[in-house]
Structure 1
């Protein structure tokens, strides 16, 4: 350095200053890129941590590669070693009946140690009582109905009608096996082949798979008027819960532009009524669904975008409480030191519990003081969170 001239030192200082300035720019660029990558990584980690317990993600996605499975929830505060129902849940047991369907007296049988027959022993009365609930053995029976024709004195001919549920052929199944087939398939989602085997095992009847499967369309035709009435009753309800779920029905090959051939079952239900609609998860199906007629109700649903479509009219929405509670569980994981996620989630859980208790006790609503306290906790928890 001592051999450099003044001009060379000035030139070197300028070069170093330019290099430092360029390095500052590069450092700033790398810092920004690093922050962007860190934010992106945090976002990806957050998305991978989402599951059915802390978001609206379905349980079927919990096993996806890289996904964090739901945390094992702590058991409820119950004494160690206790079994049975949860605390606060309504109990159920086989209760004693004062009006049994049958009464049977039972006496000791056999021979006494002295050699005398117990059938000749003196009756001392009833010393023990026991009631047993039994289901009679079901066996399919074949009944032949001979329809007669009669002629009135006026000359008019009258022919007896076939029994209820009879088809056009000479042999068929009655209303009970038909109802069993529909019940097993619709209520318990039992496949057709297994339904046939169950009917055969339980009753001895051997319906064909075609007959069992055909009962779905027959039952649908018979319940069409009932379905219209249920749809009308649902439109009169104050609150209606709506949801949609995929079904493996319809063609095997998907329509052009679709990945799957699955149909969707749309459900609108109240405490008493349930209306179903099978279709696609598109706006055309939603428009044909009952939801567009719920303009005077509170529509409770998930975040699927079609519920918010302007084509359904002006609706009053409420996000499903299960989704809200999952969101709050997710917030508790993101903010582990914060109190407000638990404070907020405790309030709707308590409100739901108090509502169920009031309903069981035939009260018109929740106690006003309890309701006010829970709403206070809810509102102030939201304010803290915001």
Structure 2
């Protein structure tokens, strides 16, 4: 017999009410736990999505691929090469230490010592050369201190003449020569060596002991001497047919963010071609873009990564080529969000094939790609986009779904900006040139960390633009730095009038 059978009607009613209250309380707790679980599930999906982003499926830099918890990029399919082969790619130009028919020096070497019979080898009969070896070597450097005594002379006519100081001499009684100054700038700007380590390297290599203040001073002076060259390079970029642009964060200045900013960082912008490189340090806002060279590129095709500022009306009417490397990475990300869908791979394969066909046509000096191949690839790409738009007509709560939909809308609404390179072989399909020119900034941050002075940072990248442009035009970086220190920086020629 149950206990409830012994209870009165009033007691049973009271017990039922107590149980109802307890059930209601448990229902509320279950609802609260369910809501918390669902919220945590959403957060977990978001975290897993963010951790799955890497350099192969997003714009995340390769340097972030090794971060804790990050999913590394999938192993790429190996090239179709014989098993076990390594080295340069097929067709790439090779290099080797070749034999020279005009060595700088020749030295004869003879056996030394004595023979087993006791006779000295110096008296042995010469049978001629039986082996040859050429060795490339550099001399050990030691800084030398030279005193220049400037004399005055008086001409027979009575006029006084005084000898000039040596080339590159400063105003004080003692100074470092142009070669050492060029090395200091070269190490800091081209190889991103921090100031203290630059001083240590110069001491180890030459025995000279310049101070950090001297090194900073050389940087400032060379930046001032190359200012006019920087303006000329900027002007030449505005005349280019196609210009690649990109931007990257740069840790500069105080560690505390400015009011209204989340991070204490600036941005480095680059506009470049195969011949010219121009940098600007600023913010990733419209004011910086307006002051940058982009506003003057209304006559060029601007290749960029779809950052919203490039579409601002304040920059004028630009002709766009959206970077296909960024589009392909985003398509790889969409394929992970929709693993069972065919359209991400179909679009990617068609776009990659179009890039390959245009590159091949350019290498073979053909005016364009085969019309039949072009029509077939465009058909695949277009219908892949249509299928994708149909599959994503309703967006769920999964991370990455909205980004995939926006990507498809870019292919649909900006078709000309995506495929401009297909009809015009003078337009590069990617902004890889800009990413290559920004890579030094990423390396510098790994080596040096935060740069304390915004002005010194501007000086660094003004000099780097000068050196990079000179190297693209076939000049030696050290030579153009030394020329700048001597007050005669390399100046690009103006284009011939048409």
TM-score (norm 1): 0.79
Displacement of 1:340 after TM fit?
4.5
CA–CA distance in structure 1, aligned partners of residues 376 and 111 of structure 2: 65
Displacement of 1:359 after TM fit?
7.0
CA–CA distance in structure 2, aligned partners of residues 77 and 313 of structure 1: 46
Displacement of 1:67 after TM fit?
5.3
Bigger CA drift: 78-87 or 241-250?
78-87
Q: Secondary structure of 2:198's match?
A: helix
Q: Secondary structure of 1:123's match?
A: coil
In our comparison, the structure showing a higher alpha carbon Rg is: 1
Bigger CA drift: 35-44 or 331-340?
35-44
Displacement of 1:322 after TM fit?
2.3
Q: Answer yes or no: is 1:163 the counterpart of 2:161.
A: no
Q: Deviations over 1:272-304 (max 9, x none)?
A: 110011122222211111111111111112232
CA–CA distance in structure 1, aligned partners of residues 245 and 17 of structure 2: 72
CA–CA distance in structure 2, aligned partners of residues 275 and 380 of structure 1: 40
Displacement of 1:117 after TM fit?
2.6
Structure 2: state its 5+ residue gaps: 1-5, 390-498
Bigger CA drift: 15-24 or 164-173?
15-24
Q: Secondary structure of 1:112's match?
A: coil
Higher relative CO (Cα under 8 Å, sequence separation at least 6) belongs to: 2
CA change 1:11–1:104 in 2 (3 A) is closer
CA change 1:247–1:30 in 2 (3 A) is closer
Q: Secondary structure of 1:244's match?
A: strand
Q: Secondary structure of 1:266's match?
A: strand
CA change 1:360–1:5 in 2 (3 A) is same
Higher percent of residues as helix: 2
Q: Deviations over 1:196-247 (max 9, x none)?
A: 0011111111100111122221111011111111111111112211112223
Give RMSD over aligned pairs.
Answer: 5.4
Bigger CA drift: 178-187 or 17-26?
17-26
CA change 1:169–1:4 in 2 (3 A) is closer
CA change 1:112–1:74 in 2 (3 A) is same
Q: Answer yes or no: is 1:107 the counterpart of 2:110.
A: yes
Q: Aligned runs of 1:164-183 on 2, under 5 Å?
A: 164-183=167-186
CA change 1:5–1:353 in 2 (3 A) is same
Bigger CA drift: 3-12 or 285-294?
3-12
Bigger CA drift: 226-235 or 255-264?
255-264
Displacement of 1:171 after TM fit?
0.7
- 1:269 maps to 272
CA–CA distance in structure 2, aligned partners of residues 156 and 341 of structure 1: 84
Displacement of 1:315 after TM fit?
0.8
CA–CA distance in structure 1, aligned partners of residues 116 and 289 of structure 2: 80
CA–CA distance in structure 1, aligned partners of residues 41 and 136 of structure 2: 66
Q: Deviations over 1:336-384 (max 9, x none)?
A: 3455544543455556566667777888877888777766765565566
Select 2:199's aligned residue among 193, 196, 200. Answer: 196
Bigger CA drift: 364-373 or 232-241?
364-373
CA–CA distance in structure 2, aligned partners of residues 290 and 164 of structure 1: 36
CA change 1:129–1:343 in 2 (3 A) is farther
CA–CA distance in structure 2, aligned partners of residues 235 and 184 of structure 1: 30
Displacement of 1:103 after TM fit?
2.1
CA change 1:224–1:32 in 2 (3 A) is same
Displacement of 1:108 after TM fit?
2.4
Displacement of 1:150 after TM fit?
2.7
Bigger CA drift: 358-367 or 127-136?
358-367
TM-score (norm 2): 0.63
Displacement of 1:64 after TM fit?
7.0
Q: Answer yes or no: is 1:90 the counterpart of 2:121.
A: no
Q: Deviations over 1:80-99 (max 9, x none)?
A: 43332244443222122222
CA change 1:9–1:82 in 2 (3 A) is same
- 2:21 maps to 18
